Structure 1
Amino acid sequence: MLPELTAGALDLIMNGTEVENPVFQILGHKRLASSSTGERYRLLVSDGVKSNSFTMLATQLNNLITDNILSEHSIVRINRYALSMVNNGGTQRRVMVILNIEVLVPGNEVGVVLGDVNSENAKSEEVANHAANKPNVVSQKPAAPAPAPKPTQNNNLNDSISSGINTTPIIALSPYQNRWVIKARVAIKSPIRTWSNSRGEGKLFSMDLLDESGEIRCTAFREQCDQFYDMIEIGEVYYISRCMLKPANKQFNNLKNDYEMTLTNDSEVIVCNEENEKIPNLQFNFMPISVIETTPKDELLDVLGIVKSFSDVQNLIARTTGRELKKRDVNIVDESNNMVSVTLWGQQAVDCDWSTNSVIAIKGAKIGEYQGGKNLSLVASSMLQVDPDIPQAHKLRGWFRTVGANTESRSLSTTNASSGMNVQWVTFQEADENKFGHQDHPSYFICKATVNLIRSENVLYKACPSEGCRKKVVDQSNGMYKCEKCQREFPNFIYRLVATANLVDWTGNEWATAFNEDAEILMKASAQELGELNEKHKDTFLEKIGAAAFKSYIFKLRYRMENFNDENKLKATIVNIQPINYKEYTEHLLNKIQELADIKK
């Protein structure tokens, strides 16, 4: 015997009355326009009396459609749903968003439409017409009157606050209506960031909000930043209303939501003092470190790793602002035995006092590329937890203690001279004999070499002061400098270095180009310092360049064939310079001797 449909439930639900676990029949579905988080599906459902197509399937349930589980004529129980308001031709209309659904009887076992269905919107809804015109629609009356649906007073996703306003699940938020209140936990709160550009200056912070149905990012600017930052605490639950919704910028937001929120002058944020155990804490969608190698630059992802090594804090000077920056690289590994470098900045780099077996979980790490390798960095919206109390972290620590700590990991980054891209030690003679760089792709290798000399001609140039732009500027002879790339004029410029160095090892020599940061290492001076010396003390400038000779380093080089004036020429570029780690270099020499002498370890 087939389950009875909950007759009259659709009218009650669409009038705002909660109905507990109604039983419906699926009469059809329609795929809506795709979005940044995937397709959305609209359902035509029936309670045996009426059908209604103002029903949406939550995106996390899309597989029920694509796997043909919610087939036509299926009988289902709705275990959890939420209501949202949409603008339908100028009229506000309720939409039921299905959050949890159970198939009681598959469609192929039913084969007919149950009840005497009267579709209230068959004329205007394409999906309703599609189902209503099916030739096998028959009328079947229930054997006994359907029990009247029981209204319920409370729902996990529709708790009421003191004002009597019901809360809306995050997944049901829509920019087409703004009379909603969400009850959500703050999983992440970023530091306050400031900006200054040609359009003005300001500040902002963002927070990631969670409830049982999903997650969403909320950002506060200027006055709202001052108003709400101090009152918002990570882990606390708040009622939030009267915010502006807009499409999420997926370049900087990897949350599973099509929209993001912005606090306005009308926004209200109220602390929730009730029990909130059902609202989850920070949710991770961990990806193996191995996938970073094939994931595009600037993508955001969640990663879990255990610290295998980390560098000392480095002090750097920002090229554009002249501010001092602090940086630390942390190498993390997971059970795929792949290792990646995570760059920490500022106070976070200074404060970390982790051991080499600390587990770190990062929400929203940004993938970067540097010198042929991949790395991770934390952006303003990223969240880092040390030794989180989650099952994945305990499992990873067990693997590291038994296997990982004593196993050589494959590095995806270039945090030291011999890491990244699995490059090999090669002499200049071996690189020449093996035609490095003559293929369709560049060749990378590392070697110990000594700087023979650096050409002083054209080692400096005046560059655009805009952040991220390295193009040469044109002197306008009026105190202004023009950048052809930015199409702007500036009253100032910054110096950058392009050093052509002759490197030698015991087998031969090679001319290689070192760009700004690597050239500064060779000459032990910043580009700005060398530029000022060139202007005021030419002899000292030349002495500084000359002093770079006869210094030895571990170089990572790239060979690539380039076409210049219709002539192919092999170009060598220095992509990384490190001081010689004599222990590491000695181990390399011993391995080479054993290999040449055919001595087994």
Structure 2
Amino acid sequence: MLTPNGVVAALAGDTNLKPVVQIVELRGVNVNGAGVTRGERFRAVVSDGTTTSSALFAAQLSDRARSGALRRGSIVQLSEYVINDVGPRRIIVILNLEVLIEECEIIGSPTTLSETGFPNSNPMRVEQFNGAPQYGLMAGNSPNTTARPTDNGPVFQRSMTGNSSNFATRPNDNKVPVFQPTVQPAYRPAPNYKNHGSIMKNEAPARIIPISALNPYQGRWAIKARVTAKGDIRRYHNAKGDGKVFSFDLLDSDGGEIRVTCFNALLDRFYKVVEVGKVYVVSRGNLRPAQKNYNHLNSEWEIVLENGSTVELCPDEDSSIPTQRFDFRPINEIEDAQNNAILDIIGVVTSVNPCTTIQRKNGMETQKRTMNLKDMSGRSVEVTMWGDFCNREGSHLQEMVERGTFPVLAIKAGKVSDFSGKSVSTISSTQLFINPDSAEAHRLRQWFDGGGRDASTQSISRDITPASSRNEIRKTVAQIKDDGLGMGDKPDWITVKATVISFKNDNFCYTACPNMIGDRQCNKKVTKGTTGNWTCDKCDREFQECDYRYLMQLQIQDHTGTTSVTAFQEAGQELLGCSARELYTLKEREDPRFADTMLDCLFQDYLLRLKVKEESYGDERRVKITVAKVEKVDPSGESKFLLDLISRSSALH
């Protein structure tokens, strides 16, 4: 039933043999220091009825061991495995197997192999008979076996009791009988390489294995995979000094994904070599646990390339490796997703807002653009693009929507946010695919063109439930005063549907200091001196050029009243659709587009996100209202809000 000498043959390097062995021990082990979790691996001891060896199950077999399909006593056939040297030990890493019998009594009285992977910690002696290598048992494995020295090394003798057909003689002076197993396993001698003779340990090319089979017990490995994403070069500073790093993601034919990272000199070596979409063979590198806060791929490991690592381009295209792997979630499932979750979504782009510039908490400015996606689940979601996405894919998407072409957009690795409902944002590892050639995209296109365009959807990106916190509740202009908003210790955040009815044309922006203080821009008001330069009192410096930032005083109105609000840089750009510098330039040139831009925002309905807080001005205290976000009213979404409001009011009565 079990393959005679199957364990010994496997450990000798015959990975073409598919031995039938028995699992005599099985236990879960922790390989990343995080405790025994669903990421655990399973270690086993396998037997061929005579000898045993340590074995490690690859990650894809963990569920079978965890479920009990593999257990102590199971008889299995090893269909795919590799041999790893871990210090003095040799371990069988099982990549795939077939369960022949789930459980039976332990067969025979197998002997435990030593740390070298061979009996009694002495290397196995391989004897040649008729030109073929044979396995010989070592002294100590049998009470009738002894060793005697010869000119060419030890010869293992055994008394002639028993069946003499089990013995072969080796030519020597005394014709000493040598033990020969009754049944020999299939075994191939080590291959020869040009100019090297028989290969030595670790000189043979590494065997290509699936990404899912990678584990820290492997001494040598190689994977063949396609680059699906390539990050930008990032620079950092720590206790060791300055450095630089970049990463790229790999996908193999089995759907396994893993991230590869290169630092400093390795970056210089591989950054220009790696191209998105190309297939490479990557070998040698340090495996470390994946940092799941930043790495969304399905592997529990990351690869850090080292000096001995290689990244070799495969000249022939491998069609078995897909160009990208998606795990799409319907938009309605995003409602239940955790904050900061990383996921893939696909939908039809129904609207794209103009690009704006905002200031981050660290004082640096960045580009921001929002759009809306809908799918067949009856829900829509707001997607925020940051940085280069705004001018790259964002501009293209806006042009397509303005032409009446509503593209399908696939988002790989979008980040979920629960601010004001659920929304999705791009991060550094996000990828956007416009009208991808996939089955999901074709189904969405057919649905949208066949009537989905006019299908009603509910946005999950604006919280309108009665249980919303106060800072998310819709208010009217009159309620700002009637409810005493802004009088508390903290500001009140509300949303008002209102119309902009007037603003001051002359003072829509101010001249700002462009000086960078650390990673923040000063932005204090500067004045022009007699020399023609701009002077900042805070920085005590002069500048040839200044920056321009919005500072707009607006009058807004709804059906309950009118109030004054202030719109700063970000809100001003969202309202007018261009930067303060661009608008100021149009005004200086007396370009008619200046008046058109200013007038376009008047008498339009907006959803205004307002910050309401009482502040002191000298001896006077008054409520100041600041516009934090501007969004054009979506008639469909507003209708759903009103219907929901009516429904809730009716239920209360």
Residue aligning to 1:68: 68
* SS at 1:6 equivalent: coil
Q: Does 1:349 align with 2:375?
A: no
Q: 1:551 to 1:278 in 2, by over 3 A?
A: closer
- Mapping of 1:232-311 within 5 angstroms? 232-273=274-315, 276-303=318-345, 305-311=346-352
Q: Is the 8 A contact 1:204 1:221 kept in 2?
A: yes
Residue aligning to 1:210: 252
Q: Is the 8 A contact 1:169 1:213 kept in 2?
A: no
Residue 226 of structure 2 aligns with an amino acid whose one-letter code is V
Q: CA deviation at 1:172?
A: 4.0
Residue aligning to 1:340: 381
* SS at 1:345 equivalent: helix
Q: Is the 8 A contact 2:502 2:556 kept in 1?
A: yes
- Deviation digits for residues 259-314 of structure 1, max 9, x if unmatched? 222334443222234674555543223333333334344432223x1323242652
Within the candidate set 383, 391, 396, 2:431 is matched to 383
Q: Does 1:555 align with 2:634?
A: no
The alignment's TM-score, normalised by the length of structure 2, stands at 0.61
Q: 1:378 to 1:400 in 2, by over 3 A?
A: farther
Q: Is the 8 A contact 1:313 1:326 kept in 2?
A: no
Residue aligning to 1:119: 112
Return the alpha-carbon distance in structure 1 between the equivalents of residues 607 and 549 of structure 2.
21
Residue aligning to 1:404: 452
Return the alpha-carbon distance in structure 1 between the equivalents of residues 486 and 51 of structure 2.
68
Residue 578 of structure 1 aligns with an amino acid whose one-letter code is E
- Deviation digits for residues 351-376 of structure 1, max 9, x if unmatched? 55757454333332233455554123
Alignment root-mean-square deviation, CA:
5.8
Residue 193 of structure 1 aligns with an amino acid whose one-letter code is I
Q: 1:479 to 1:513 in 2, by over 3 A?
A: closer
Within the candidate set 366, 377, 400, 2:415 is matched to 366
Residue 439 of structure 2 aligns with an amino acid whose one-letter code is P
Q: Is the 8 A contact 1:252 1:300 kept in 2?
A: no
Return the alpha-carbon distance in structure 2 between the equivalents of residues 478 and 443 of structure 1.
31
Q: 1:431 to 1:294 in 2, by over 3 A?
A: farther
Within the candidate set 12, 19, 23, 1:26 is matched to 23
Q: Is the 8 A contact 2:223 2:283 kept in 1?
A: no
- Mapping of 1:88-167 within 5 angstroms? 91-107=87-103, 110=104, 112-120=105-113, 149-151=185-187, 164-167=205-208
Q: 1:389 to 1:578 in 2, by over 3 A?
A: closer
Residue 30 of structure 2 aligns with an amino acid whose one-letter code is A
Return the alpha-carbon distance in structure 1 between the equivalents of residues 486 and 107 of structure 2.
71
Return the alpha-carbon distance in structure 1 between the equivalents of residues 209 and 243 of structure 2.
35
- Where structure 2 has 5 or more consecutive residues not aligned to the other structure, the ranges are 116-180, 191-201, 525-536, 541-545, 584-598, 615-621
Residue aligning to 1:577: 630
Residue 240 of structure 1 aligns with an amino acid whose one-letter code is V
Return the alpha-carbon distance in structure 1 between the equivalents of residues 9 and 421 of structure 2.
61
Q: 1:147 to 1:359 in 2, by over 3 A?
A: farther
Q: 1:508 to 1:348 in 2, by over 3 A?
A: closer
Q: 1:6 to 1:345 in 2, by over 3 A?
A: farther
Residue 61 of structure 2 aligns with an amino acid whose one-letter code is L
Q: CA deviation at 1:18?
A: 0.9
Deviates more, 1:287-296 or 1:249-258: 287-296
- Deviation digits for residues 374-424 of structure 1, max 9, x if unmatched? 123152x33333444443334444444445333122223369xxxx99x89
Q: Is the 8 A contact 2:356 2:368 kept in 1?
A: yes
Q: CA deviation at 1:70?
A: 2.0
Residue aligning to 1:193: 233
Return the alpha-carbon distance in structure 2 between the equivalents of residues 235 and 217 of structure 1.
15
Q: 1:372 to 1:188 in 2, by over 3 A?
A: same
Deviates more, 1:500-509 or 1:249-258: 500-509
- Deviation digits for residues 300-351 of structure 1, max 9, x if unmatched? 2223x13232426526376799999665544333332332334233433345
Q: CA deviation at 1:430?
A: 7.4
- Deviation digits for residues 57-102 of structure 1, max 9, x if unmatched? 233333223322223323333333334443xxxx243333333333
Q: Is the 8 A contact 1:306 1:357 kept in 2?
A: no
Return the alpha-carbon distance in structure 1 between the equivalents of residues 47 and 637 of structure 2.
76
Q: Does 1:39 align with 2:84?
A: no
Q: 1:444 to 1:590 in 2, by over 3 A?
A: closer
Size of the aligned set, in residue pairs, is 518
Q: 1:512 to 1:519 in 2, by over 3 A?
A: same
- Deviation digits for residues 31-62 of structure 1, max 9, x if unmatched? 22275783323232433425656322233333
Return the alpha-carbon distance in structure 2 between the equivalents of residues 424 and 153 of structure 1.
77
Within the candidate set 207, 223, 238, 1:183 is matched to 223
Residue 630 of structure 2 aligns with an amino acid whose one-letter code is I
Return the alpha-carbon distance in structure 2 between the equivalents of residues 553 and 29 of structure 1.
68
Q: 1:69 to 1:364 in 2, by over 3 A?
A: same
Within the candidate set 570, 584, 606, 1:517 is matched to 570
- Deviation digits for residues 124-181 of structure 1, max 9, x if unmatched? xxxxxxxxxxxxxxxxxxxxx9975435799xxxxxx99644334433444566x534
Return the alpha-carbon distance in structure 2 between the equivalents of residues 589 and 241 of structure 1.
56
Q: CA deviation at 1:551?
A: 7.4
Q: CA deviation at 1:479?
A: 5.7
* SS at 1:227 equivalent: helix
Q: 1:95 to 1:587 in 2, by over 3 A?
A: same
Q: CA deviation at 1:253?
A: 1.0
Residue aligning to 2:476: 427
Return the alpha-carbon distance in structure 2 between the equivalents of residues 436 and 321 of structure 1.
29
Q: 1:257 to 1:501 in 2, by over 3 A?
A: same
Structure 1 or 2, whichever has the larger Rg, is: 2
* SS at 2:274 equivalent: coil
Residue 16 of structure 1 aligns with an amino acid whose one-letter code is G
Q: Does 1:392 align with 2:445?
A: no
- Where structure 1 has 5 or more consecutive residues not aligned to the other structure, the ranges are 123-144, 155-160, 481-492, 531-546, 563-568
Q: 1:296 to 1:571 in 2, by over 3 A?
A: farther
The alignment's TM-score, normalised by the length of structure 1, stands at 0.65
Q: Is the 8 A contact 1:460 1:498 kept in 2?
A: no
Q: Is the 8 A contact 1:337 1:404 kept in 2?
A: no
